[in-house]
Structure 1
Amino acid sequence: MFEFAHLRCFVAVAEELHFGRAARRLNMTQPPLSRQIQLLEHLLEAKLFERSHRRVALTPSGRTFLPEARRLLQLAEGAAMSIRRVSGGDVGAVTIGFTAASGYGFLPDVFQRLRARLPGVDVALREAVTSAQLDALANGRIDIGLVRPPVRHAGLEFRIVLREPMIVALPPDHRLADRDRIDLVELGGDPLISYSPFEARYFHDLTLRLFSAAGAQPTIAQHVSQIHSVLALVRIGLGVALVPEAARQLHFEGVAYRELARAGETADLGAVWRSDNENPAAARALEIILGEG
Structure 2
Amino acid sequence: MKFRKSITVLVILVAIFASLASISGIFSKGGPGSFDYTSIRGEKVTLYGIGLYRHMSADVAIQGIAQDYVTLFIGVPLLLIAFFWAMNGSLKGRFMLAGVLNYLFVTYLFYMNMAMYNQLFLIYILLTGTTFFAFILSLLSIDIQKLPEQFSEKAPVKFSGIFLIVNAVIIALLWLSIIVPPLIDNTIYPDSVDHFTTLTVQGFDLSILLPISFLGGLLLLNRSRFGYLIATVTLIFLSILMTALVAKIIAMANAGVNVIPAIFIIPVINLISVICSLKMVKSLNAK
TM range (shorter): under 0.3
Q: Which has the higher helix share?
A: 2
Structure-1-length-normalised TM-score: 0.21
Point out the structure with max Rg over C-alpha.
1
Q: Which has the higher strand share?
A: 1
Structure-2-length-normalised TM-score: 0.22
